[in-house]
Structure 1
Amino acid sequence: MASVRDVRLLPKAHLHLHFTGSMRSGTLLELADKYGVHLPEALKGGEPPKLRATDERGWFRFQRLYDMARSCLREPEDIQRLVRETAQEDVADGSRWLEIQVDPTSYAPRLGGLIPALEIILDSVDRATAETGLPIRVLVAANRMKHPLDARTLARLAVRFADRGVIGFGLSNDERRGFARDFDRAFAIAREGGLIAAPHGGELSGASSVRDCLDDLRADRIGHGVRAAEDPRLLARLAQSGVTCEVCPASNVALGVYEKPEDVPLRALWDAGVPMALGADDPLLFGSRLAAQYEIAREHHGFTDEELAELGRQSLRAARMPAAALAEALADVDAWLADNPAAGPRAD
């Protein structure tokens, strides 16, 4: 069998990762024991639960499992541990830049309020960066299931903490609910404050939800976006505008959006020239982290090492990295590609 380059060594940026969903399964079990939380069997086995969120009942079950896991994060040291371990996992997978997405209102009741919760998260990010060397930024995400006024509050909070590590503003949860345009003012606040606009769209809902993110929220990036493949004109628009889709192949299959890894339209987006940043979404629930998404591209979609290297570059370019760090990471992508694993070790 021919040798292949290790995708864990390919420099890349991780731009689609949710906070609680980034937790190690072993950490969840330990925290549940610490606080006497009775976890459902689906979260106990160390294996990803069986999920299918293409109907209301399935999405409710997914959210219930996520909320149960989040209930085990109760003290600042729990937050610190989660971020530190997440950074360690990302470093092992070749990440040079991590943007982790969080709705601080979900953690506020146990951490002293909305502002203290975000401060604890940002302090934990600073610690994890110092310990692992991985630059980490935070993307504050509003919940589509809540009132748009709540989103405006979060947008103002995100802008207030832009100099502390908040880099973007998102919109998550079930995109089949409500309208993107209801959140346009919140995204305007975020954009005016210099933040990246990165709402979810084009996963549970079709191509129209991607179009709404572009038209109504003026998205810089789209969380998921894979359903854009159903509309060739929309694909062309994404490619022409350079809007990056944060594609999460394992997540798409785990939630039933596509039946098999090879059904995820990675090739359709690639062939149309749409920039992509592969992401793990929620490793706790979907069972795979960042490098595994590149393995899916290789094994199920036939991406060559040259194409995988370009995927790494696209993710890095979509991140808001300092210019020097970006240049270094891009050079390291070239070095990864220049390495020939089939040649074996060099003789002295």
Structure 2
Amino acid sequence: MNPSTTSSEPKTPAPRDVRGLPKAQLHLHLTGAMRPATLDDLAARHGIAVPAPLPVTTNSWADFQDRYDTARQAIRTPADIRRVVAEAAEDDGADGCGWLEIQVDPTSYAPVFGGLEPALEAVLDAAAHAPTPTGVIVASSWARSPGHATTLARLAAAYADHGVVGFGLSNDDRYGAVVDFVPAFDIAAAAGLRAVPHSGFYTGAEHVRACVEHLHAARIGHGTASAADPATRDLLATRQVALEICPTSYPPFGVHELAAIPFRPLLDAGVPVAVATDDPLLFGVGLAGQYAICRDVLGLTDAELAGLAAASIRHSAAPQPLQAELLRRVEGWLTDGSPRPGTASSAPAGC
């Protein structure tokens, strides 16, 4: 080719690698964190049937819960929990995660482990040995009684200095009345634990508001329904209550199509948003993949992705020195697509 005929138009820069963007993982359930191959292995070892894949479109929480419950039966020993947590931390670490919060309701594991305390202690031991720094969130269920939530809040409070960093409510958020769970969240708050209930998945913006006003939520699991109500958006923005949005969790239930997840009105209103995975075992997409969806499907810019990552770090329970280090590296990723010079060698394990 004649050099004089070569185009001098500037080349479009390659997209930044979202795996290199430092971030925190704030919404990951223990059973749903399993690798599919690990589920196959543990199920075969313990004689448990492997659940069928989740339908692409189910519109049924029962379909999801049945598969989740079946998968959970494959976790039967402390070694199983340590393996699941370690592999989840490896996977998230490879996706740029420098701090992981893994959520567990010890109720379902208690019969196999001999009680609530042994079940939680197995998770805490696994978290303490994970290759990425990891905190544990104890969660009750919207479908269980407020009294049971109070029992689990006391349990969480007892281990607040041993790796438990938050208390939440998971499962279908259409069950239960928010005000009935105030005593449980008061116990958790007195122990210094973050309040992180699920809300605004099936329920509306009024449920999200109630969780903020009555449970003093620091973060809301999902919460996308709040985007439709300006008053709720303003409340979240004013109080800086973060939403943990997990893009691939919504299409199977008909909650949102990927392209319709309401990031834009939330971000424009100043609501902090952290991107997470929820249950990658069933939804099939890891942490970096969720960020890629935000860019490739929802049209967020690299600067906005960096903002999501920074929000996940700031609203985490990570120690302040670790937060500061990760935030410096977010700035470096945005500046030149890589961690700042001189920070790589001091990066936290798993990043």
TM-score (norm 1): 0.91
TM superposition shift of 1:51: 4.4
One of 274, 283, 297 as aligned partner of 1:277:
274
3-state SS of paired residue (1:174): coil
Residues 269-294 of structure 1: per-residue CA shift (max 9 Å, x gap): 11111001111000011110111111
- 2:230 corresponds in structure 1 to 232
Contact preservation (8 Å) 2:51, 2:71: no
**Structure 1 segment 300-315 matched on structure 2, within 5 A:** 300-315=297-312
Structure number having the greater helix percentage: 1
3-state SS of paired residue (2:68): helix
TM superposition shift of 1:255: 2.5
Residue 264 (structure 2) pairs with residue 267 (structure 1) = yes
Aligned length: 327
Contact preservation (8 Å) 1:49, 1:285: no
Paired AA for residue 176 in structure 2: G
Residues 184-235 of structure 1: per-residue CA shift (max 9 Å, x gap): 1000000011100010100111111101111221111111111101101111
The 2-side partners of 1:309 and 1:17 are apart by 20
The 2-side partners of 1:119 and 1:31 are apart by 20
CA RMSD between the two structures: 1.3
Paired AA for residue 311 in structure 1: L
3-state SS of paired residue (1:332): helix
Residue 7 (structure 2) pairs with residue 9 (structure 1) = no
One of 139, 159, 162 as aligned partner of 1:161:
159
- 2:138 corresponds in structure 1 to 140
1:25–1:16 distance in 2 versus 1, CA, 3 Å: same
The 2-side partners of 1:180 and 1:152 are apart by 13
Paired AA for residue 50 in structure 1: V
Structure 2 unpaired stretches of 5+: 1-11, 339-351
One of 323, 326, 335 as aligned partner of 1:326:
323
Residue 100 (structure 2) pairs with residue 98 (structure 1) = yes
TM superposition shift of 1:253: 1.8
TM superposition shift of 1:50: 2.9
**Structure 1 segment 290-309 matched on structure 2, within 5 A:** 290-309=287-306
TM-score (norm 2): 0.91
One of 118, 121, 124 as aligned partner of 1:119:
121
Structure 1 unpaired stretches of 5+: 43-47, 342-348
Contact preservation (8 Å) 2:24, 2:99: yes
Paired AA for residue 36 in structure 2: S
TM superposition shift of 1:340: 5.1
- 1:24 corresponds in structure 2 to 35
3-state SS of paired residue (2:197): strand
Give aligned-pair identity as a percent.
50
Higher-Rg structure is: 2
